[in-house]
Amino acid sequence: MRNIKPFFINSNICLEEKDIYSQENFFSSIAGNIGNSYITYSLIKELFGGLVNINHIQNIYEYDFTHADKDIDFINNECTHVFLILQDQIRIIESYNLQLPYLSIINFIKKLNKPVIIAGLGMNSLDDYDKDFHKKLNPELINFLKFLSDNCIEIGIRGHFTEEILNNLDIKNINVIGCPSFYEMGRNRVLTKKKKINDSKILLSSSFHSKLLNNNHQIMQCLAEEKIINAVAFDNLHEDIIENEFKMIQSGKYHIFSGIEQWKNFVSKFDFTIGYRLHGSILSINAGVPALCCSEDYRAKEMCELLKIPINLAIEPNKNIIELYEELDYSEMNKNYPKLYDNFENFLNNNKLRLFKEDNIKYNYIKQPELVLYSKKLKKSLSKHPLNKELKYRQIKMFINKIFSIENKNQHKIITIMGLKFKF
């Protein structure tokens, strides 16, 4: 079906300049995490061959349901499909103290006469997998999941842990697909490794505890890193910023993106990506850069196991990362990929959709708005910050100590001038 006009609920994607006008607008647009955008971006690209304008509700957590009738009328008269973008919402503890408005979404969907598609729903557990996980879920969430099952042809889910939970709830119309973002580059994607890399070409997909990579370029992705993002993207430098963060900002090592292609283009300049962000790892792989995911929670583990993305949950802070890179093997991931891709295509077909193929249909592709980082205003704020004066003082002191110093040794004073030592 090519004459498709989808409507996205909870798209979490920046499409207009107003979406990045302020930090409040930005975090609202992406629902607190730019990784959320990658799901919608990928689905659009997979259906249309590139990014096109969509009709959407950007953030379901902040949606004013008093406007619902207007949107429902538009969907029923103008659209062909509805995508409800859900992530790891099968959880016991809510993220950022936000709970999906279950009943409001149910009432919204009840009034639709278009098919509803869910691609990439998953569980989230920060602890070891619990076989009784389903018994601990909020009854409202369970009712919501069963409603979705009754109103979807087939639900695409993230992995086999999620499958087990839903089966325990007697929800069977599911397909284990992983995440749509994994298939963004098409069926022929193959990842290759360079034989040798160096430390400077290693990118952190999140903060990462390593004594050897404490000054590498780093991606900032979500509300947990709000202080840094506000500084580098919105010129709001906090007074309480710590020294290491200040140095990283000063040297331009933090990065945040509102556009997926902008993000991928940056990542493609590196040889290896490591960190705790799963979607950061997937994006890196799609940019042609090997990645290692280090997240310790089960939402990452179940997808990595399904998609065969290398995952290491216990890396010592003094571990040689280059040696770690040399040990990684992506052959299983490459071998498994076509089968997973075909299953994802079947999932779309089961939902009366098909992937974009090179045909005669031309679409008007658009670009996402791009955040501008490290403005002149920020640089001026850095120069006036108390830490800047402290660091300059230390540099001067170190320089003086290099050319002139006095130390007591036994009964003598040792004076060092320009590297020459004199004993008195």
Give the ranges where 328-416 is alpha helix by DSSP (H). 331-350, 376-384, 386-403
Residue 3: band (very low, low, confident or very high) from pLDDT cuts 50, 70, 90: confident
pLDDT surpassing 70 at residue 405: no
Is residue 373 included in any domain, yes or no? no
Phi, psi of 218 (to 5 degrees): -140, 135
Confidence at residue 357, expressed as pLDDT on a 0 to 100 scale: 86
346 and 323, same domain (yes or no): no
375-400: average pLDDT: 75
Q: What is the dihedral of CA 367, 368, 369, 374, to 10 degrees?
A: -100
Indicate if 297 and 346 belong to the same structural domain.
no
Mean per-residue pLDDT of the chain: 91
Q: Say yes or no: 37 and 164 in one domain.
A: yes
Query: What is the model's pLDDT at position 390?
Result: 67
Cα separation, 95 vs 61, in Å, equals: 12
- Asked whether the beta carbons of 36 and 12 are under 8 A apart, the reply is yes
- Residue 310 covered by a domain: yes
Per the CB < 8 A criterion, the answer to whether 292 and 145 are in contact is no
CATH code of the domain containing 164: 3.40.50
Confidence band, pLDDT 50/70/90 cuts, at residue 239:
confident
For residue 215, being part of any structural domain is answered with yes
Average pLDDT over residues 58-84: 97
Residues 301 and 251 in one domain: yes
Closest CA to 325 of 203, 237, 167: 203
Q: Please tell me the distance from the alpha carbon of residue 311 to that of residue 328, in angstroms, as a whole number.
A: 10
What pLDDT score does 94 carry? 74
262: helix, strand or coil: helix
Backbone angles phi, psi at 211, to 5 degrees: -70, -20
Verify that 231 and 339 share a domain, yes or no. no
Contact in structure between 224 and 294 (CB atoms under 8 Å)? no
In which band, very low, low, confident or very high, does the pLDDT at 257 lie, cut at 50, 70 and 90? very high
Q: What pLDDT, on a 0 to 100 scale, did the predictor assign at position 295?
A: 81
Whether residue 395 is predicted with pLDDT greater than 70 in this model: the reply is no
Q: Does residue 278 lie in a domain region?
A: yes
The per-residue pLDDT for 384 is 87
The pLDDT, as a whole number, for residue 230 is 96
Residues 6+ apart with CB under 8 A from 105: 9, 60, 84, 144
Cβ distance 291 to 328 under 8 Å? no
Calculate ∠ Cα 27-231-208, nearest 5°: 80
Report the sign of the C-alpha dihedral through residues 58, 64, 68, 69, in that order. negative
Of the candidates 36, 31, 83, the residue with the CA atom closest to the CA atom of residue 55 = 83
Amino acid identity, position 419: G
Does 24 share its domain with 154? yes
What pLDDT sits at residue 422? 64
Give the model's confidence band at 304: pLDDT under 50 very low, under 70 low, under 90 confident, else very high: very high
Is the pTM of the predicted complex or chain greater than 0.75? yes
pLDDT band at 356 (very low <50, low <70, confident <90, very high): very high
Strands (E), 178-239: 202-204, 218-219
Q: Does 299 map to a domain?
A: yes
Amino acid found at 219: I
- Residue 421: its pLDDT value, please? 67
pLDDT digits (tens, 9 = 90+) for 176-216: 999 999 999 999 999 999 999 999 999 998 877 777 787 89
| pLDDT above 70: percentage of residues in the chain | 90
Decide the pairing of beta strands 155-157 and 174-176: parallel
Q: How many domains does the chain have?
A: 3
**274-294 pLDDT, tens digit each:** 998 999 999 999 999 999 999
3-state secondary structure 9-50: ECCCCCCCHHHHCCHHHHHHHCCCEHHHHHHHHHHHHHHHCC
Q: Does 203 lie in the same domain as 180?
A: no
The angle that helices 260-267 and 278-286 make with each other, rounded to 10 degrees, is: 70
* Same domain assignment for residues 294 and 345: no
- Give the per-residue pLDDT at 1: 45
DSSP classification of residue 366: -
Same domain, 314 and 257: yes
pLDDT band at 423 (very low <50, low <70, confident <90, very high): low
Residue 93 lies in a domain: yes
> For residue 12, is it within any domain?
yes
d(CA 387, CA 400): 20
Confidence of residue 238 (pLDDT cuts 50, 70, 90): confident
In a domain, 266, yes or no: yes
pLDDT above 60: residue 397: no
Instruction: Judge whether residue 217 has pLDDT over 50.
Output: yes
Q: What is the distance between the alpha carbons of residues 248 and 266, in angstroms, rounded to a whole number? A: 17
Domain that holds residue 416: 388-423
Percentage of the chain surpassing pLDDT 90?
A: 73
Residue 399 has pLDDT above 80, yes or no: no
Based on the fold, state whether residues 204 and 173 are members of the same structural domain: no
Q: Tell whether 25 and 126 lie within a shared domain.
A: yes
| 97 and 155 housed in the same domain | yes
pLDDT of residue 413: 67
pLDDT score, position 129: 73
CB contact at 8 A, 343 and 187 = no
pLDDT one-digit tens code per residue, 37-59: 999 999 999 999 999 999 999 99
At residue 10, what is the residue type?
A: N
pLDDT value at position 373? 96
pLDDT in tens, 112-151: 999 999 999 999 887 677 888 999 999 999 999 999 999 9
- For 311, the enclosing helix (H) or strand (E) is none
Report the alpha-carbon distance of residue 376 to residue 363 in Å, rounded.
38
Q: What is the C-alpha to C-alpha distance for residues 94 and 86, in angstroms, rounded to an integer?
A: 14
C-alpha span between 120 and 162 (Å, rounded): 10
Report pLDDT for 361.
Answer: 79
What is the model's pLDDT at position 120?
95
In Å, what is the CA distance from 363 to each residue of 39, 218, 348, 396?
20, 35, 20, 59
pLDDT value at position 2? 61
Mean pLDDT of 19-29: 97
Q: What is the pLDDT of residue 81?
A: 97
pLDDT, residue 211, reads: 72
